[in-house]
Amino acid sequence: MSGSGFLGYGVTCGAIEDFSRILTGELGPSGIRVICMRPDVIPEALAISHTRKVFGGIAERANTTIEAMLTERTPTGALLKRFPTLAEVAEFAAFAASDHAGAMTGAIANLSCGSIVD
């Protein structure tokens, strides 16, 4: 994510992606696959995850609410003009963990609806 207040969050996300790549090299010889999922914010998960705390502080420092901040970003900030849903991320996770994705490892799965383009 870009914009004022996201520096620490962005650095953390980059570190997680790099960690998953390194972990792939460590665990691959043992037959363990590693796939990092990169969704954007999932609005319906704000009530049940740590993201309310993460985005709440950013919104507060910007003198706005999380809901207003997300509304401002959504239509223009993503190529699909929306954020991912919890069901979409869960369905991908189930696929990635299945034998159907048995050859997949060391990947960063972009589930951002186009708000981040690789």
What band does 75 get if pLDDT is binned at 50, 70 and 90? low
Residue at 92 is within a domain? yes
Q: What burial class does residue 102 get, using C-beta atoms within 10 Å of its C-beta: 0-12 exposed, 13-18 middle, 19+ buried?
A: exposed
- Contact between 39 and 20 under an 8 Å Cβ cutoff? The reply is no
Give the tens place of pLDDT for each residue, 42-65: 888 888 888 788 778 888 888 998
Q: What is residue 68's predicted lDDT score, i.e. its pLDDT?
A: 87
Handedness of CA 12, 18, 24, 27 (dihedral sign): negative
Residue at 2 is within a domain? no
Residue at 66 is within a domain? yes
Residue at 1 is within a domain? no
Q: Which domain holds residue 75?
A: 7-111
The CATH number covering residue 65 comes to 3.40.50.720
Residue at 79 is within a domain? yes
pTM of the predicted model as reported, rounded to 2 decimal places: 0.81
Instruction: Give the pLDDT mean for 25-54.
Output: 89
